[in-house]
Structure 1
Amino acid sequence: MTLACAMLAIATWFNTPTAHAAYRDLTKQQTLYREKLAEYAKALAAYEDLAGPYWKSITEKRSRRRARHSFQNIAANDYVLKQPPVYSGPPKPENPEGATSAEKAVPVVADFLREAKAQFDFVPDTPATENDYKRAYAAAARAAGLTAEQCVRIYAFESGGDGTYDVQAGLEYDVPGARAVSTALGYNQLLGTNSVELLAEAGDEFVSALRRKANAANGVRKDALLSKIDTLKKMIAFSRSVPDRWNAHARLADTPKGIGIHALNLDVDIGPLLQVRKLLTSVEFAKRYDFDAPLSAAELEMMNLTGDGNGFEMVLMSKDLRDKIPTSNFFQRGGYERNPVAGVNNTVAKLIAATNAKMDSEAQLQGAKALAALFEEF
């Protein structure tokens, strides 16, 4: 069919009763959409009148607590004691003509691997079997002084009890339509920002660990480790190109180089070191404040979930405070609103109890049992 014929066919169709009916239906849908959108905007504005001041008070109270540079003598009046307002209006309607703006896709493993190769000429040494990664993880954890109970229960909680070394948040289960909800990756679900920050703060540790491996190796393996060290140093230099602050590292993590750095978690030599170091950072944080008691897996998870300072406050709380302090005090607004677990379990006591319950359940799955068994080798 020629272009002229095709254009004639289209014009003819638009003049048919079917086309007129489709146009009227779309017009009706658009009118209804605009009405629903106006209702949604009105309800959202009313909600924001409550939520905005509430979350501002959360931030102000947190800032005052941090300004003390101490976790001593923190009391109930240092927190917002009301639960956050809950949006109860209509959902945001869908535009019948489709989305007006494309949502930025969350990078996935294929993106991490692509950018690692493109930006640093780095291809991770992936494990031959899942147990090879678990064994390397257990060895690194033991060397760092972490316990099997801490690591296995956190693995169970973060990775669903049977997750693989490359499991990503949102893709834990093989279900139709699943999509990544964040860059959280691996046994401890490190974000891309975590990977950049850990390199900036503890990169020299990782270089030393690889150098010890290289010194004990020969031939091709030794050459591969030495090459990996050179690549790791380049990644560390990039991670240290900004001030050591979370927001600065988050911006780096969102660049092609930062996305490539996140692929380190997939490497059997470096990935376990990154995953373990994240937990060890929390242990060391507690020790800096003279807290020498072993942190339970759930307490470590609170620090992992909300940040060391916020989580440590929960660790130090009396039972009475845990029962009454809303979990909203320990989250940024966006993180809280995206986290249904924190919203349902809306006090510190409830959140810790729910975390322990999930750990109890998921630790019975095969992946967690395999990890526990491998800890016995060290």
Structure 2
Amino acid sequence: MSTFGTLFRVTTYGESHCKSVGCIVDGCPPGMELIEADIQPQMTRRRPGQSALTTPRDEKDLVQIQSGTEYGVTLGTPIGMLVRNEDQRPKDYSEMDIYPRPSHADWTYLQKYGVKARSGGGRSSARETIGRVAAGAIAEKYLALAHNIEIVAFVSSVGPIHLFDPESTPASEPAFQKLLSTITRQHVDSFLPVRCPDTVIAEKMADLIAQYRDKKDSIGGTVTCVIRNVPAGLGEPCFDKIEAKLAHAMLSIPATKGFEVGSGFKGTEIPGSKHNDMFIPHPTDPLQLATATNNSGGIQGGITNGESIYFKVAFKSPATISVPQETTSYSGEPGTLAAKGRHDPCVVPRAIPIVEAMAALVVMDMVLMQQSREASRDMLGKAKRVIPELNKEEEKVAMKVAETVLEAQGQ
């Protein structure tokens, strides 16, 4: 479906080459100042044509708020946002009327709907993520104002090149943990075009992406994200644990192939005696606890524990490449496809704001749920509780019922 969230609900619309793309956001709290300038920075970070390492499609991705605000303040009603598609070239996809692209969604969409978008990837295109980023920017503003929550993502690998040793666990890397506690979006963007916060590693990644671009090929990578200042208690067991919702959100992004939180898969190689995060007194709040390490990634039992949440998302090599590939037409005839059009040789640099947006949508939804629970609990504290006392006859009846039940159970 095209809707995500429970209390903070986002519905996206649009295909890669239609007139516009956008979203409807329902459940935004009223009374928050909101204008296009609050949303545009993340849209600009996501837009194509940022560098020679991204698709040359020239879209400004200027967002327009259509509803849900008045005089720059949210009304609590649905917020409609629109971005026009300006640089459309449907003719670039004529060959794909004959051949489904290997590892793309052309064939599966046709099987599902019986028809598919003839230009680009339709709803499977990364162009669809514009609505997610716009909605995420609204969630981010509320989370920052209400809870000082910060969400920052960065590129942690491209192909075989990694920012940190892939054989070590994140919690055992002091440099990694320091980065998580200090990294900012401004710092990440200072390492354009790759957005990996290390000069030497970023240059190696850029060179590798350029090599695949020049060969008309593609390469994948990973994005790491940290969410700081998260209140303890967020998450809805058993099926809506916060890491489950984050996994759902991240794996719904086009081209994703994997998700891990905290120590992730490397944590399976560590005994519990070393993996467990020992509780310690909180350094600033005597009413809270902290943990000495953070292998859990800020989540225990599906509920946030007050530590920073961090996770990693894997993105595959983009499927649309211009290297001639032996394949089969829709009619079953062998042939060769060398895809035309404008496509990213590696998606991870532009995926950064998308990952941040989806993380914001999950946390926003969980915050609203927890606030609802706490508010309803506090209402009980204001009410005078009256516990009726049983009289002697009622006590005898209750005891007799209990004895009958125990006898029936053979106790």
Q: TM-score range by the shorter chain?
A: under 0.3
TM-score by length of 1: 0.23
The structure where helix makes up a greater share of residues is 1
Q: TM-score, normalised by structure 2?
A: 0.21
